[in-house]
Amino acid sequence: MLIAALKKSQSVKFCLIWLGLMCTVDARADYHYQVSAELDLKKLTVDLCFKGQAPEKLVAESLDASVALIGAWDESGDPITLSGFIPTAGLSEGACIHYQVDISRGVQRHDMTGPKVYKSIDATAVSNGLWFWRPEIIPHTRQVFVEFNLPVDYSLSTPWSLTESEGVLEVPATPFDWPSWIVLGHFFKKEVIVNGTQFDISILDGSPTPDAEALAEWITQEATHVQSALGEISFSNVQVFIFPNARARQPVPVAYVTRGGSPTLHLMINQRRDMQEFYDDWTVTHELSHLFLPFISPDDAWFYEGFASYYQYVVRARKGLLSPQKAWSNLLYGFRRGSREAEARGLTLFEATQKMYQGEPFMQVYWGGAAMMLIADVELIKQSNGVWSLDRVIQEFNLCCMDRTRAWAALEVLSIFDELYGYPLFVPLMNRYVNANEFPDMADTFQSLGLVVNEGDVMLTDDADHRSLRDTIMFIPNQ
């Protein structure tokens, strides 16, 4: 959710506890946060009021939140003794507390999952896990409201949704330990709607200044391509954060999706690269493809990363951004890399997934999963004479079963895929390869597709049946 620059300093119901005034808590909010920042964006000051009895303690998602926490105080101004959390047991009913968080730098003392603060010219992006201290468990029946008090002309981007009360945001019912971010300050912002999904694009400044309008148009085109190839994304809002000054030869060296609140696409870009390089890059296609699946446990990263790796080339071929020949070549190149890694390491796909989070190679994970997606897609099309495909399974799943409020296991999702199709295909495929230390066998799939691999090159046979099957995958019907 993008909130336009404020023309005056907003302090909607702000708790002036240092002047002895009590918080005014919205009657509907069980937990009501009021957050302020100064011009230098070096710290956040938070007043949190409880509608009823306060919880035993407050926790935060990041392991470094306690390092960034400057202090906490009760309503009378007495300091609260901290111990890796904020103890709140014993507070009176309807009580409020006050705390401050240092966001001047990206602390990485205990949390090795990446920096939690990104600074640019006149703007700061900060992980909510660094400052959002919350009860350890918040039932879905409880409401959490947040208000921001920002300097004049400062804007805000957040994954949370506006309520009927002006300036009041509601934190959605996704798990509170799922990562999410906000951006504060002066930055480029634009809202675009693609097939009913609103993309809130926030682009921070850098040196040199990025061409924000061109980058926003690039995101719009990518979102259009993905949705026209795969169907509508089943989210009403998607945040897009673009951070410049990445040091790399490629235009988008780092990208990932977070799911807290609404989905957020994070892109670290090298704005010095020519815009055509951005249009030629597959990264955003890959990341947007993730949004056709629910949040899946990291233990099953082979599934969601394989899914996105498969579609990153299929989608681009369907939209004419790659020739089908090049798309098949790229897929086969990925399969070779994954296969060589699997052979060299002797790990099962499950073991390789676990070690990926320890900084070890990941090609077996990404491309082993992608190989299973291609095998399944081919079998679906062949068995149903083109009535079913992986596209259709995904679209049916998004219509019937996409639950965005919890983490799923791959087995759960794939079991539903089999139920939708009406025949056991996905789960047997998973059972065959996830605990095997061999890369998926692609021989029958390649033969069905008429793909002939010779010393690293791929040739496409001209047989009508083979060509028809390939075209079903690489072209959009009726286009």
Give the relative orientation of helices 410-421 and 301-318 as an angle to the nearest 10 degrees: 50
Label residue 13 by pLDDT band (50, 70, 90): very low
Integer Cα distance of 200 and 130 in angstroms: 22
Q: What pTM value is reported for the model?
A: 0.92
Half-sphere exposure of 192 (CA within 13 A, CB side): 17
CB-CB contact of 124 with 117 (8 Å): yes
Question: What average pLDDT does range 177-195 have in this prediction?
Answer: 95
pLDDT at res. 176: 76
Label residue 17 by pLDDT band (50, 70, 90): very low
| SS3 state at 106 | coil
Integer Cα distance of 261 and 468 in angstroms: 42
In terms of DSSP bridges, do strands 457-460 and 451-454 run parallel, antiparallel, or are they unpaired?
Answer: antiparallel
For 121, 311, 337, 355, 378, the CA distances from 371, given in Å and listed in that order, are 43, 11, 12, 20, 11
pLDDT (tens digit, 9 = 90+) per residue, 80-135?
999 999 999 989 999 999 999 999 987 767 666 778 999 998 999 999 999 999 99
pLDDT at res. 28: 57
Q: Which two tokens stand for residue 6?
A: 């404020």
CB-CB contact of 446 with 460 (8 Å): no
Label residue 21 by pLDDT band (50, 70, 90): very low
Sign of CA dihedral 298, 299, 304, 305: positive
Integer Cα distance of 171 and 40 in angstroms: 26
Question: What average pLDDT does range 33-61 have in this prediction?
Answer: 95
Integer Cα distance of 82 and 72 in angstroms: 8
Q: Which two tokens stand for residue 162?
A: 């506006």
Q: Is the pLDDT of residue 27 over 90?
A: no
pLDDT (tens digit, 9 = 90+) per residue, 304-332?
999 999 999 999 999 999 999 999 999 99
CB neighbours (10 Å) of residue 310? 26
What DSSP line would sit under 421-438, residue for residue? HTS--HHHHHHHHTT-SS
pLDDT at res. 115: 83
Please measure the distance between the N-terminal and C-terminal CA atoms of the chain and give it in whole angstroms.
Answer: 34
CB neighbours (10 Å) of residue 275? 14
Integer Cα distance of 237 and 226 in angstroms: 15
pLDDT (tens digit, 9 = 90+) per residue, 452-469?
988 778 899 999 999 999
| pLDDT cut 90: percent of the chain above it | 80
Integer Cα distance of 404 and 398 in angstroms: 10
Query: Which segment of 126-130, 158-162, 211-215 scores lowest on mean pLDDT?
Result: 158-162
Closest CA to 345 of 358, 333, 332: 358
pLDDT at res. 25: 44
pLDDT at res. 123: 96
| pLDDT cut 70: percent of the chain above it | 93
pLDDT at res. 142: 86
Q: Is the pLDDT of residue 11 over 60?
A: no
Q: Is the pLDDT of residue 349 over 50?
A: yes
Give the relative orientation of helices 301-318 and 212-230 as an angle to the nearest 10 degrees: 100
